[in-house]
Amino acid sequence: MNVVPELKLKVADSEKITINLGYVDLGHVDLMVQDGFYSNRTDFIRTAIRNQLDRHADVMRQSVARKSLDLGLRHYSRGDLEAVLRRGDTLHINVLGLASIALDVTPELARAAIASVKVLGALHAGSAVKAALADRTQ
């Protein structure tokens, strides 16, 4: 008997960003790394961002509540979207973090079930589904 292992899709727990930084600021970052305060540039930048987010945590919590955002990871399966349609409803996706739509969701199902998409962070979905929802995405 030939057994084929099941492959699971691994969702990345981070998103790559690019920033432009002046040479003097970059030099300061490199000095902090060289002196052992941080393991590398990424560690420094990640720590600086987290410190800023911590500094503004109260304001962010109020904003998340006011805008009715789901916080963290929110996955929408084919079954989830089909259940929305069976109820005669549509879905308004409002996520701060990562929203993912299963790869077996067709563009037609996505358009029928999803009325709007607002994601502060990242949206993972097939390119055809993203294109089908482009006019509903903020």
pLDDT at 4: 46
The per-residue pLDDT for range 38-62, each reduced to its tens digit, is 999 999 999 999 999 999 999 998 9
- Between CA 82 and CA 87, with CA 86 as vertex, the angle to 5 degrees is 120
pTM equals 0.71
Q: Where are the domains of the chain?
A: 23-55, 67-136
Nearby residues of 64 by Cβ (< 8 Å), 6 or more positions away: 71, 96
Which of 32, 28, 27 has its CA nearest to residue 43?
Answer: 32
pLDDT at 14: 81
**pLDDT for 2 beyond 70:** no
pLDDT band at 67; cut points 50, 70, 90: confident
